Amino acid sequence: MKTIILTHAAAKDLDSLEGDVRERVGEAIASYATTGRGDVKKLTGRDGYRMRVGRYRAIFAEDAETILAVYIGKRETITYSRN
C-alpha cells in the first residue's frame, strides 16, 4: 500500500466537498493506493495523474511509495488549470 499525502490545498478541497462525495473520493484514493486500480490516467502536457470519481477529479503525483494529492474538485471548474 502506498502512503497518501494531501497538500494543504487538497485537504481543504476535500473538506469542502459534501459528505457523500467526500467519502467516495476518499475511498477511491485509498483503493487506488491499495490495489493500483481505478479510473486513473496520466495527464498530457504536464506531470501527474488524474483520478475520476464521477464529476470529480483528483490531480496527484505518485512514486513507488507515495501518492501526493494536489487538487480535488469538480471537473467543470478549474481542475486542470490549477498548479
24-42: pLDDT as tens digits: 999 999 999 999 999 999 9
- CATH no. for residue 54? 3.30.2310.20
Q: Which residue is it, cell 478549474?
A: 78
Q: Report how far residue 78's alpha carbon sits from residue 50's, in angstroms, rounded to the nearest whole number.
A: 14
Does residue 53 lie within any of the structural domains?
yes
Domain limits for position 55: 3-74
Does residue 24 lie within any of the structural domains?
yes
Q: What's the confidence (pLDDT) of residue 75?
A: 81
Q: Residue 55: is its pLDDT beyond 60?
A: yes
Rounded to the nearest integer, the mean pLDDT of the chain is: 91
Q: Distance from first CA to last CA of the chain, Å, rounded?
A: 26
Does residue 14 lie within any of the structural domains?
yes
Residue 57: how many CB atoms within 10 A of its CB?
Answer: 21
Does residue 13 lie within any of the structural domains?
yes
Q: Residue 73: is its pLDDT beyond 60?
A: yes
Specify the 3-state DSSP secondary structure of 1.
coil
Specify the 3-state DSSP secondary structure of 52.
strand
Does residue 82 lie within any of the structural domains?
no
Count how many domains the chain has: 1
